Structure 1
Amino acid sequence: MNSTLPPSTPRRATVVTLSALAGVAPSTVTRALKGDTRISQKMRDLIIGLAKEHGYMPNVLARTLSSGKSGLYGLVLGPAENPFYTELLHEATRQAEKLGFRLLIIHAGGGPIEDTTAQALIQYQVDGCIISSAILSSKAADICAQNNVPLVMVNRVALSHGCFVTCDNRAGGAEMAKLLMLRGCRRFGLIYTSSTSSTSREREEGFVAELEQAGLALSLRIDGHSNYDGGFEAGREIAAIPSAERPDAIFALSDIMAMGVLDALRLASIDVPGDILVAGFDGVAASARPIYDLTTIQQPLPLMIQRAFELLRARTVDPSLPDELIAMRGKLIVRGSTGRA
């Protein structure tokens, strides 16, 4: 049997060209490539060998047209300068590869998801979408709902169409307050973000509520703008406060802001944790570096992504499933920025 493609044959092999080479029907080739045991092992081996020899790649568009499913999932990310979203991207990519999914990566930054972004998700025929730290407009949510595109918000809870997988931010904030009070702190500063996200709001609420139960309150509250530069400027502002009036402890609502605070304080020759304690939230890898040694609440990111894909896959099969809200406990990691006692 001659396995050489004729000169007029297109360079990219198709099911039709493989069927001609193998001398069988195209449907037989399709079943063989799927491992259908109704096709003899000898024929399956022959067809798989031909596919490899001629560089055959499945036609994803054809599969989408025939099944209505593309195996493509959208991933909308938060600001690239925050290492949390870089780690989320790497984890989602790793898990998607193991599941045989493909990702359409859309960087949305920290602002709202525009309606055009939702339209793009529809045009690319994604089977579902994971959205992290972006504001979903009600119209964009409606666009996805009307087209049966399931959504899962990760690290965020919104009031629109979709499921939500998040760290228990309120509990994490409360746990951090307990730790700092156990360290003897009585004056507290908070580095917050002006974002309307549920993530930052719940972390602050948990922290403040725990302080109030102990008869304490915040003495300082500074907007860190959800980034390193904002945290650094907040740290400079704190450093300028006379030592007798300065907070005993600073809780930044994200690690990236806490790292900015730490750098500013150390440049001002303020000792951490000798003069002031600093803590963050997220558990990014950089927080463990010796230069930061940052106490933090680590989000269970691998489990959050795993659950997000499970929710999407289930709703791809049955779009009528109700929305779910899943909150997972974060892990308190105590490091040198709050003392290790």
Structure 2
Amino acid sequence: MDVPAPPTRPARARATLLSLAQAAGVSISTVSRALRGDARISPATRRRIDALAAEAGYAPNALARTLLGGRSGLIGLVLGPMQNPFYPALLEELVAQAAERGLRLLLLHAGEGSMDDRTAQALLQYQVDGCLVTSAALPSRIAAICAGNDVPLVMINRVAREHGAAVCCDNAEGGARLADFLLAGGHRRFAVVGGNADTSTSLDRERGFVERLAARGVALACRFDGGATREGGWAAGERIAAMPPGERPDAVFAVGDGLAMGLIDALRAGAVPVGASVEGEGVEAAGAVSVVGFDGVAAALRPPYALTTIVQPLRAVVRRGLDLLLARMEDPAAPDELVTLRGTLHVGRSARLPAGAATGASHGDAGRETG
């Protein structure tokens, strides 16, 4: 026996400005102004048109608005490698704050390496109103494309090399503060797990750390290349764990929290104790290695890492970055500028504590502009 097919519901026509105008008995321009909240339209008419639009499920045609207004509302985004746990957190904050301002992000590139031709051309084909670059190793290509096509460019979490404004944490100051913390804790043999060689962010953090040690008459015992991933931190940790105890550094600065987490994992796997005390009893373990990081990603602050680190003022950095970009979208002639924001020293259990210090404490004015 054949079962009759259920009746099909006729497709509902998509609501348009024209259909709303016909339903309201007004002109298309009146509907358009009412939906934009134009004060020239009476409150009663605006309320009636808003109700009709909600009932019809009307959504503005973004493409049509682009053709009429010359703006797409799209912001191009060049994102750093997602293996670095800082970048997913940065992306989440960018999406949230962009949505609050009525902007949409178009991901142009993510990860290591330079942009290919198709990705670079997407910058122009989608008529983005501006471009945000968070990738630590920016190829000059995108800066040149933006400059040549009058697309405002703002860099977040890095320093501009060529065209564009920038906002970032004060990386050198944060590195110096970590050196002070470790020196106050009585450490004497220091190591650094550095980032990518072409990354201004990592280089500034390391420079601030090493220069502060030098000012106190202390030189690095050793240095390791870690890249930007936990795997790089693990490799450095394996090498440190394999050192004779008398040659092993007693304090290590990993220039990113991802590196620091990999480093701690490897040290523990090699039976090298890490941090301020044994099992929370306040008793220093023989041969313990202190580890500090930089970024303040959530996973690094929680057990089992409880990392001592500089926490970036992420919300303030993103807010200032969008401020800079919107200002340059309004005034393309605005001069390039660099904004640096001071991070906060979060004291965890991954490093020996100076006298009188307590875990869980935070020190510093996060978000305060320093330049």
TM-score by length of 2: 0.87
CA distance in structure 1 between the aligned counterparts of 2:322 and 2:207, rounded to whole angstroms: 29
Distance, in Å, in 2 between the alignment partners of 1:194 and 1:129 is 23
Shift, 1:250, TM fit: 0.6
* Residue 47 of structure 1: how far off its partner (Å): 1.4
**Corresponding residue for residue 169 of structure 2:** 167
Aligned counterparts, 1:75-114, within 5 A: 75-114=77-116
CA distance in 2, matches of 1:282, 1:238: 23
Structure 2 runs not aligned, ≥5 long: 1-8, 276-284, 358-371
| Distance in 2 between residues matched to 1:9 and 1:233, nearest whole Å | 60
Q: CA deviation at 1:137?
A: 3.0
* Deviation (angstroms), 1:26: 0.5
Match of 1:296 in 2: 309
Does the 8 A contact of 2:229 with 2:258 survive in 1? Answer: yes
Decide whether aligned partners of structure 1 residues 116 and 62 sit closer, same or farther in structure 2, where only a CA change above 3 A counts: same
CA deviation digits over 1:252-272, x for unaligned, max 9? 000000000101111112111
Amino acid at match of 2:252: I
Deviation larger for 320-329 or 31-40 = 31-40
Identity of aligned residues (%): 53
Q: Deviations over 1:1-57 (max 9, x none)?
A: xxxxxx999721111121122121100110111112322223222211221121111
Structure 2 CA distance for aligned equivalents of residues 188 and 97 of structure 1: 44
Contact 1:76 1:130 in 2 (8 A): yes
8 Å CA contact retained: 2:109, 2:115: no
Q: Which amino acid aligns with 1:290?
A: P
TM-score by length of 1: 0.94
Aligned position for 2:25:
23
Given that 2:241 and 2:267 are in contact with CA atoms closer than 8 Å, whether structure 1 keeps it comes out as yes
Provide the C-alpha distance between the structure 2 equivalents of 1:135 and 1:230, rounded to a whole number of angstroms. Answer: 17
Selected match of 2:348 from 331, 335, 340:
335
Q: Give the count of matched residue pairs.
A: 335
Instruction: Write the distance in 1 (CA, Å) between the matches of 2:20 and 2:11.
Output: 11
Map 1:172-251; keep pairs closer than 5 Å: 172-251=174-253
Q: Please report how far the alpha carbon of residue 133 of structure 1 lies from its aligned counterpart in structure 2 after TM superposition.
A: 2.1
Runs of 4+ in 1 over 6 A off after TM superposition: 7-10
* Alpha-carbon shift at residue 68 of structure 1 (Å): 1.1
Residue type of the alignment partner of 1:175: R
2:65 aligns to what SS in structure 1?
helix
Structure that is richer in helix per residue: 1
Identify the residue that residue 51 of structure 1 maps to in structure 2: 53
- C-alpha deviations, 1:61-119, integer Å up to 9, x for none? 11111111111112221111211101101111111121111111234213233454332
Matches within 5 A, 1:263-274: 263-273=265-275, 274=285
Which SS does the other structure have where 2:218 is aligned?
coil
Separation (CA, whole Å) in 2 of partners of 1:261 and 1:10: 58
C-alpha displacement of 1:139: 3.3
1:168 deviates by: 0.7
Amino acid in the other structure paired with 1:199:
T
CA contact (8 A) 1:231 1:258 kept: yes
Corresponding residue for 2:39?
37
Q: Whole-Å Cα distance in 2 between the matches of residues 139 and 94 of structure 1? A: 28
1:306 matched to which residue of 2?
319
Looking at structure 2, the residues matched to 322 and 115 of structure 1 have their Cα atoms a distance apart, in angstroms, of 28
Over the aligned positions, Cα root-mean-square deviation in angstroms equals 1.7
Alignment-derived partner of residue 4 in structure 1: none
Is 1:132 equivalent to 2:145 in the alignment? Answer: no
Structure 1 residue 157 and structure 2 residue 159: aligned? yes
Encode CA deviations 1:179-210: one digit per residue, 9 max, x unaligned. Answer: 11111111111101233110011111111111
